[in-house]
């Protein structure tokens, strides 16, 4: 079956030979391919080291002379709202079709592969588009390629080179040689590897429990900037790990005080809880399986209390909610999504 358009969704971190084989197949059976680059708007981490614009260049360069048949668009994550994510995919495709002057009778399909029984489940979310199930070339996974890239080992580059298109490897070499972000990501990877190794002898993979505080006061949200790895320099909600002898609420209030020195009595904080929610996306933290309990403390009006950075916070500030909602690329882990859950509708 031939299509006027095929939709290809992926993170492409980085775009490797397996992705290229799927794209080539799509271009053989479709006039144009709409490529949606997921995790757009995320901060640079060892899981998402390249922004949407950089990945768009990788994809177009790898497509060569067929680049003019590609429509590449960034796609945001919505970790805790699958319906919103599906809606955004549909909206991006509809917009691409309209901008391209597609007729109402244009045939649209979805191309992809369920590589491990889990990551391809999104393919079933679009029954309106016929599915082209394709098996791509067996290569190292993007996760393995990122590990090699940030290892600091010169020989590791040969593994990367063998598994990505030549134009992409050129971009990766340039990124490694000249981008100031590379050093930070290499340090983050070293930290994560050491952190995970410290738990390697555990009889079962550990599950960590944390607590976070979403403090909203007079249209401002309290944010801290992280002093150390992982996520050094990124903005976060005050919070941390739950101690053995405390409840998750007590942990949230303790971490809030330790990191911000917020001058609000614990009893007042408990009385100001507007909502609470568990956030448990399996990939929400690079450190491992980490489930957090977030508490929304709400103070509708009044003078902003004084705060001061302490503990592992480099800086603390009251940020207008409207400004914070534009800072997705500067947030640690899924903290933007947590904030969005509580205040996105105001």
Specify the pLDDT at position 220. Answer: 97
One domain for residues 173 and 258: no
One domain for residues 257 and 141: no
- Please tell me which residue, 228 or 98, carries the higher pLDDT value: 98
Question: Any idea what the CATH number is for the domain that residue 161 is in?
Answer: 3.40.50.620
Residue 114, domain extent: 3-181
Whether 198 is covered by a domain: the verdict is no
Whether 199 is covered by a domain: the verdict is no
Summarize pLDDT for 40-59 with one digit per residue, the tens: 999 999 999 999 999 999 99
Give the residue-averaged pLDDT of 20-48. 96
Lowest-confidence pick of 126-140, 231-245, 260-274: 126-140
One domain for residues 46 and 175: yes
Specify the pLDDT at position 279. Answer: 98
Of 36, 18, 53, give the one whose Cα is nearest residue 95.
Answer: 36
- Model pTM? 0.91
Question: Distance between CA atoms of 12 and 56, rounded to whole angstroms?
Answer: 9
pLDDT at 124 over 90: no
Question: Any idea what the CATH number is for the domain that residue 215 is in?
Answer: 3.90.79.10
**Helical H runs in 70-201?**
82-99, 142-149, 156-161, 166-178, 180-197
Q: CA 340, 84, 34 angle in degrees (round to 5)?
A: 120
One domain for residues 8 and 74: yes
Q: Quote the tokens at residue 264.
A: 């609000």
Specify the pLDDT at position 134. Answer: 86
pLDDT at 346 over 60: no
Whether 191 is covered by a domain: the verdict is no
Specify the pLDDT at position 85. Answer: 96
Specify the pLDDT at position 116. Answer: 53
One domain for residues 265 and 166: no
Question: Distance between CA atoms of 78 and 84, rounded to whole angstroms?
Answer: 7
pLDDT at 312 over 90: no
pLDDT at 247 over 90: yes
Q: How many residues does the chain have?
A: 346
Give the containing element (helix H, strand E) for 343. helix 335-343
Question: Distance between CA atoms of 116 and 232, rounded to whole angstroms?
Answer: 32
The domain tally of the chain equals 2
Specify the pLDDT at position 136. Answer: 61
Residue 90 burial class via C-beta count within 10 angstroms: exposed 0-12, middle 13-18, buried 19 and up: middle
Specify the pLDDT at position 166. Answer: 97
One domain for residues 144 and 12: yes
One domain for residues 213 and 130: no
pLDDT band with cut points at 50, 70 and 90 for residue 345:
low
* Alpha-carbon radius of gyration of the chain: 22
Summarize pLDDT for 289-307 with one digit per residue, the tens: 999 999 999 999 999 999 9
pLDDT band with cut points at 50, 70 and 90 for residue 1:
confident
Given CA atoms 94, 96, 102, 107 in this order, what sign does their dihedral have?
Answer: negative
Residues 6+ apart with CB under 8 A from 89: 7, 9, 36, 75, 125, 126
Question: Distance between CA atoms of 344 and 331, rounded to whole angstroms?
Answer: 15
Specify the pLDDT at position 137. Answer: 64
One domain for residues 91 and 226: no
Whether 188 is covered by a domain: the verdict is no
Q: CA 191, 233, 148 angle in degrees (round to 5)?
A: 35
pLDDT band with cut points at 50, 70 and 90 for residue 63:
very high
Residue with token string 């809030």: 256
One domain for residues 133 and 212: no
pLDDT at 240 over 80: yes
pLDDT band with cut points at 50, 70 and 90 for residue 174:
very high
Question: What is the β-pairing status of strands 220-226 and 208-217?
Answer: antiparallel
């Amino acid at each position: 079956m031939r299509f006027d358009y095929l939709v290809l969704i992926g993170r492409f971190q980085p775009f490797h030979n397996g992705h290229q084989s799927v794209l080539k197949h799509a271009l053989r059976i479709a006039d144009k391919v709409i490529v949606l680059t997921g995790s757009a708007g995320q901060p640079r981490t060892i899981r998402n080291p390249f922004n949407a614009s950089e990945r768009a260049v990788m994809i177009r360069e790898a497509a060569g002379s067929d680049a003019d048949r590609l429509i590449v668009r960034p796609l945001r994550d919505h970790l805790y709202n699958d319906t919103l994510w599906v809606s955004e995919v549909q909206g991006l495709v509809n917009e691409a079709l309209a901008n391209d002057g597609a007729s109402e009778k244009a045939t649209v399909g979805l191309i992809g592969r369920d590589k491990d029984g889990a990551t391809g489940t999104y393919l079933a979310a679009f029954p309106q588009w016929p599915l082209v199930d394709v098996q791509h070339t067996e290569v190292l996974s993007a996760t393995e390629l990122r590990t090699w890239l940030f290892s600091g080992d010169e020989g590791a580059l040969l593994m990367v080179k063998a598994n990505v298109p030549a134009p992409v490897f050129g971009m990766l070499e340039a990124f490694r040689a000249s981008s100031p972000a590379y050093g930070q990501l290499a340090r983050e990877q070293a930290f994560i590897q050491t952190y995970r190794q410290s738990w390697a002898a555990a009889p079962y993979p550990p599950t960590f429990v944390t607590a976070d505080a979403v403090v909203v006061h007079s249209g401002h949200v309290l944010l801290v900037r992280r002093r150390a790895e992982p996520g050094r320099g990124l903005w976060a909600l005050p919070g941390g790990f739950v101690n053995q002898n405390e409840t998750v609420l007590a942990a949230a209030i303790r971490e809030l005080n330790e990191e911000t020195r917020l001058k609000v009595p614990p009893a007042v904080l408990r009385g100001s809880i507007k909502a609470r929610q568990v956030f448990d996306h399996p990939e929400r933290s690079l450190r491992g399986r980490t489930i957090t309990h977030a508490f929304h403390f709400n103070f509708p009006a009044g003078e902003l209390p004084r705060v001061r950075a302490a503990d592992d916070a480099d800086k603390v500030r009251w940020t207008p909610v409207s400004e914070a909602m534009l800072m997705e690329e500067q947030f640690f882990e899924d903290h933007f999504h947590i904030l969005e859950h509580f205040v996105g509708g105001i």
